[in-house]
Structure 1
Amino acid sequence: MSTLPRSFEQPLERFYEYLRSERELSLHTQQNYKRQLTCIAEQLLELGVENWQQVDAGWVRQIASKGMRNGLKASSLAMRLSALRSFFDYLVHQQVLPANPAKGVAAPRKARPLPKNLDVDEMNQLLEVNDDDPLAIRDRAMMELMYGAGLRLSELVNLNVRDINLSKGDLRVIGKGDKERVVPFAGLACEWVGNWLKVRANIAHADENGLFVSKLGQRISNRNVQKRMAEWGQKQAVSSHINPHKLRHSFATHMLESSGDLRAVQELLGHANLTTTQIYTHLDFQHLAKVYDAAHPRAKRR
């Protein structure tokens, strides 16, 4: 039996009946709503709130803050606030409340899991593609370029032949927000793009501008690139699943570990904000401490 007072319980019971009869939600979903709303009601009672009409945005924020302090995951807190918003929408529709006080209160963003990067040995293992088939040459050129220049998948696919300057070792990229940047690339990336350009004309349609094309002679698609890279990961016996973003992530991590130059890596990746680069590269604290100890003039012992 519920220990909630009638001022809390009656509106909830009417809402549960509405979920059952009108919205026809599954029993599992109904139970989730009931669990979340009961928890919220108990917390509001502890805070001295006597009924639902007293709840304003400030009380809702307190509920969210309490959930965070209690270690509630972002996804669980989002579910709790979603249940509360649905309940208050119902009360507004029933003219019990003039407005929904939970409408403007957002749950914290879920932490986006970052893809694991490949270490240098795994990257070398992946890129040791020695096959004279034109499509294999194309695939190695794509992988070398993604890892060598830190490109996004869309940037790679949208490259045109005229965007590449092999003699200067740079390429023109249109990134997010249609922002243009010039990215250096050298060494094996430059060599294998050159190898691909020698055989590209045998596959590409005469009027095709795309740098990388499919076996049908047209600009290669995002999906085709993803599929081919996953296949090469299996062929080269790399332990983890290979996708284009993992190559970009590995570029960022390896560049930052080697240089310690966050600003330069930000420019190379085409990030508008430095905070994005900091999240993206996940340098461990030990490496940061070594950089600090080696670089800061007051960190060295006399």
Structure 2
Amino acid sequence: MTIERESKTKKISEGIESLIFEYGLDNVQSIIEQKITLSEKKEENPKNELSLADGKTIYLKSDTFFMLKETSQKTYQSDLNHFLENAKTRLKKKSISTISILDVFAPRYLKEYVGQFNNSYTKARKCAFLRSFLQTVYPEYYEEKKAHLKRALKVSFKKSSAPKAFSKIQLAELIALSKLGPNGMRNHAILWVLFGSGIRISSLIHLKIGDINFKKQSLRIIAKGYDEDEEIIAKINKLALMILKEYLDFTYEYAQFDMPKEEYNNLYVFSKDGGVSPLSARAVQIVVKNLVLKAKSIPEYIKKEKRSKKRGSNHFGPHSIRHSFAVYALESGVDIYTISRLLNHASLSSTEKYLDLLDHQLKSAIENHPFANKEFIKLQNTVNK
């Protein structure tokens, strides 16, 4: 028993040392003290008597919350505050300290709460938060009522239509048209950066000169779903990079020689005021919209169609450029895992939607498979003889 105890003590000691090395002594010490305090509080206050105020304290000081990314912490804290305010209103209580955990985590109550949101993605996020909260604050109850809670926190998604992508002829015309007009060089560079890297418009407009690495063919970007201070790298093809360099050399010729390097690198690539502030997302959307309206290769009925999230929508928008990047990468034989990384998708499922656009090609591929060939049947008959 002594040897076993010493072994456990050694493992705990090594684990704590590892945590201190990764997160720092002060952070680890703070968490341990919080754990001790919460443990003492739980002993004084049984779970069935825990109030929502207690639950909030436990959750916000838990390892579960501590290990979330900063953006997720902000989102979950907002969801928590909304849930608590909703509970006070529905139960007609002035304080969350007078509301029991069990009052608001009954499956029927949760189902009604989630049901008030119309958007499926909002519902899914709320459900994810509620599961996280309950599993952290009251894991025994969650396990006991798991089947009922699973039904209460279930979200159904309507199968969305495949994203709309430009044809190659349409892309070629858009690029040709982008050169025309007073802002032709800028618009041409915008399209090439979008087509050549697949980045989102939100990443494009925040791009600074110092974010471009010409040798490594990369862009340092702000990406959806990541913390602002987290460095995300997107790749860009050589042709797009060459056009971008021509635009920068022309637009910022004065700044390259007159400004200190650090100040020059901090200029926004696409701007209306000489790099001081970024071009707005709306401005880029208007650029793409006007090009689509001018393009003869795009049918008139598509141009007139308003943006819609309904299945079968033919609407072309700026995000169609990103879709086109993914679709033609798939078509050229790039595997979906590589495309997922190029698009900086947090999940492979986000990339899989592009497979719908290649359904006709997938059907063709399966028909061209050797096992679908009549010659294979003849071979089989020969073997049977």
Alignment TM class, shorter chain as reference: 0.5 to 0.7
Aligned pairs (5 A) from 1:63-142: 104=152, 106-129=154-177, 131=179, 135-142=183-190
Runs of 5+ consecutive residues of structure 1 not aligned to the other structure: 1-55, 61-73, 79-100
- RMSD, matched Cα: 3.6
Q: How does the TM-score come out when normalised to structure 2?
A: 0.46
For residues 105 and 130 of structure 1, do their structure 2 counterparts lie closer, same or farther at Cα, with a shift above 3 Å needed?
closer
For residues 130 and 273 of structure 1, do their structure 2 counterparts lie closer, same or farther at Cα, with a shift above 3 Å needed?
closer
Aligned pairs (5 A) from 1:149-164: 149-164=197-212
| TM-aligned CA deviation for residue 111 of structure 1 | 3.4
> Of 347, 363, 380, which aligns to 1:273?
347
- Match for residue 270 of structure 2? 212
**1:197 lines up with 2:245 in the alignment:** no
For residues 291 and 130 of structure 1, do their structure 2 counterparts lie closer, same or farther at Cα, with a shift above 3 Å needed?
same
Aligned pairs (5 A) from 1:1-302: 104=152, 106-129=154-177, 131=179, 135-176=183-224, 177-178=226-227, 179-201=230-252, 209-214=267-272, 217=275, 218-237=277-296, 238-239=298-299, 240-241=302-303, 242-291=316-365, 301=376
| TM-aligned CA deviation for residue 113 of structure 1 | 3.9
Secondary structure of residue in 1 paired with 2:332 = helix
Q: State how far apart, in whole Å, the 1-side matches of 2:178 and 2:288 are.
A: 15
Counterpart AA for 2:338: A
Q: 1:86-143: per-residue Cα shift (whole Å, max 9, x none)? A: xxxxxxxxxxxxxxx9993545123344441101111111111474766211111111
Q: 1:55-108: per-residue Cα shift (whole Å, max 9, x none)? A: x86xx9xxxxxxxxxxxxx99xx9xxxxxxxxxxxxxxxxxxxxxx99935451
CA contact (8 A) 1:150 1:268 kept: yes
Counterpart AA for 1:212: F
Runs of 5+ consecutive residues of structure 2 not aligned to the other structure: 1-106, 112-118, 124-147, 304-315, 380-385
CA contact (8 A) 1:134 1:196 kept: no
CA contact (8 A) 2:170 2:295 kept: no
For residues 159 and 109 of structure 1, do their structure 2 counterparts lie closer, same or farther at Cα, with a shift above 3 Å needed?
same
Q: State how far apart, in whole Å, the 2-side matches of 1:246 and 1:171 are.
A: 20
Q: State how far apart, in whole Å, the 1-side matches of 2:253 and 2:268 are.
A: 14
Q: State how far apart, in whole Å, the 2-side matches of 1:288 and 1:150 are.
A: 23
| TM-aligned CA deviation for residue 170 of structure 1 | 2.2
The percent of aligned pairs where both chains have the same amino acid is 28
| TM-aligned CA deviation for residue 286 of structure 1 | 3.8
For residues 141 and 226 of structure 1, do their structure 2 counterparts lie closer, same or farther at Cα, with a shift above 3 Å needed?
same
For residues 108 and 142 of structure 1, do their structure 2 counterparts lie closer, same or farther at Cα, with a shift above 3 Å needed?
same
Q: State how far apart, in whole Å, the 2-side matches of 1:293 and 1:113 are.
A: 24
